[in-house]
């Protein structure tokens, strides 16, 4: 089997997360062979930083590599994923799968028929505390996991008003499809990605469009509320076919403290995981020696979830086998939940998915 270090990797989309991924590839001493972007300035900056060829046309990049990382704005995921798969390459596609459910379904259809595979970038699954929770679940320590509280809430964190993140046409939504997609995926991961049957949700736009939007820090430039036509928060309740549930709170901006807390509730034990700090606590109760409650703090090694995700992807490319984690079908299930939350909010009622 070829070594993962021998895989030639290209990146499509050379700003933001694309540059971040490239830095991880360099750190791992993988073979970063080039990048592609339609923006000449982005190509120039990328070439200067990483000293690899850059291209305006993706086909020229595809001729040089075995696999690609696609990190473009959401609307263009389908275009580049389909062209890469058609070229026989393996693909690591940044979350979300696409900007709409219909586009996501076309990507999945193409991936199922392609020679290569498509893995989707839900890096939080690779966090060390998350893997500890999954280990304890597999051992049976939690009993049956029945509910997950998923929070990804910023007090003020709208990303660059007027950028593609705040454009419904390009992003497909706001806080829900940007950071809520991570919360939904992680919650469904803790439930072993079950069949979802019902979703009830509400999306709100209360802060991003205001002239007096108050913030201390902003990722990107603030071009004012006129460039904001998406939601800045969402609340939802998700039910699977076995009656297990997820409660979701996600926001770019709220009048409350920031929280990245996930609470996993099982019949024998539970866990609280803070995604921001990696703090993990296991909650248990028993009658041995007397009725008692116990909370166990779990310390894990510091890890880089993006680097671990890349390692899993490159190992799968080298092996010629699709990875068992972050599959395209799981990503489609997440996309369907996102679409259902938007439809539920628009209709003012729960949406059935079965």
**Which of the pair, 54 or 219, is modelled with greater confidence?**
54
- Using the predicted structure, report yes or no on whether residue 76 has a pLDDT greater than 70: yes
Domains of the chain: 4-124+307-326 (3.40.50.720), 125-303+334-352 (3.30.360.10)
Classified as helix, coil or strand, 230 is coil
- Mean pLDDT of the 45-58 span: 96
Give the torsion sign (CA, 221, 224, 229, 232).
positive
Instruction: Look at residue 158 in the predicted model and tell me its pLDDT.
Output: 97
Cβ neighbors of 94 (< 8 A, separation 6 or more) are 13, 17, 69, 70, 71, 77, 120, 121
- For 152-220, the DSSP string reads EE-SB----TTSGGG-HHHHSSSHIIIIIHHHHHHHHHHTTS--EEEEEEEEE-SSTT-TT---S--SS
Write down the pLDDT at residue 25: 87
Residue 1 has pLDDT above 60, yes or no: no
Q: Is the pLDDT of residue 161 over 70?
A: yes
Give the model's pLDDT for residue 2.
Answer: 60
With a CB cutoff of 8 Å and minimum separation 6, the contacts of 139 are: none
Show the CA angle centred on residue 202, arms to residues 197 and 203, nearest 5°: 125
Supply the pLDDT for residue 30. 65
Cα separation, 164 vs 162, whole angstroms: 7
Whole-model pTM above 0.85?
Answer: yes
The whole-number average pLDDT for the span 140-161 is: 97
Q: What is the pLDDT of residue 354?
A: 87
* Mean pLDDT of all residues in 22-39: 86
């Amino acid at each position: 089997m070829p070594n993962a270090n021998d895989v030639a990797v290209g990146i499509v989309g050379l700003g933001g997360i694309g540059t971040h991924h490239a830095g991880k590839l360099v750190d791992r001493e993988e073979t970063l062979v080039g990048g592609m972007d339609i923006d000449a300035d982005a190509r120039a900056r990328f070439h200067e930083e990483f000293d690899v060829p850059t291209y305006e046309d993706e086909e020229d990049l595809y001729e040089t590599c075995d696999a690609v990382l696609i990190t473009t704005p959401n609307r263009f995921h389908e275009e580049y994923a389909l062209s890469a798969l058609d070229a026989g390459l393996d693909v690591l596609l940044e979350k979300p799968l696409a900007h709409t459910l219909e586009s996501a379904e076309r990507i999945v259809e193409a991936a199922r028929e392609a020679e290569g595979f498509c893995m989707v970038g839900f890096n939080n699954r690779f966090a060390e505390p998350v893997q500890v929770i999954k280990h304890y679940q597999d051992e049976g320590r939690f009993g049956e996991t029945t509910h997950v509280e998923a929070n990804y809430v910023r007090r003020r964190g709208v990303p660059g008003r007027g950028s593609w993140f705040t454009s419904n046409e390009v992003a497909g939504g706001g806080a829900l499809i940007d950071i809520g997609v991570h919360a939904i995926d992680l919650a469904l991961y803790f439930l072993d990605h079950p069949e979802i049957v019902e979703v009830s949700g509400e999306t709100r736009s209360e802060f991003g469009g205001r002239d007096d939007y108050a913030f201390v820090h902003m990722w990107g430039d603030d071009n004012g509320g006129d460039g904001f036509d998406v939601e800045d928060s969402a609340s939802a309740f998700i039910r699977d076919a076995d009656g297990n549930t997820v409660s979701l709170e996600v926001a770019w901006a709220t009048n409350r403290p920031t929280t990245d807390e996930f609470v996993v509730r099982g019949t024998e034990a539970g866990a609280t995981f803070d995604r921001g700090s990696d703090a993990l606590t296991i909650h248990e109760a028993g009658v041995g020696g007397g009725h008692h409650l116990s909370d166990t703090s779990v310390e894990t090694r510091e890890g880089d979830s993006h680097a671990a995700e890349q390692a899993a992807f490159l190992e799968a490319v080298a092996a010629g086998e699709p990875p068992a984690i972050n599959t395209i079908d799981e990503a489609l299930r997440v996309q369907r939940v996102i679409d259902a939350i938007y439809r539920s909010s628009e209709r003012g009622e729960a949406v059935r998915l079965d």
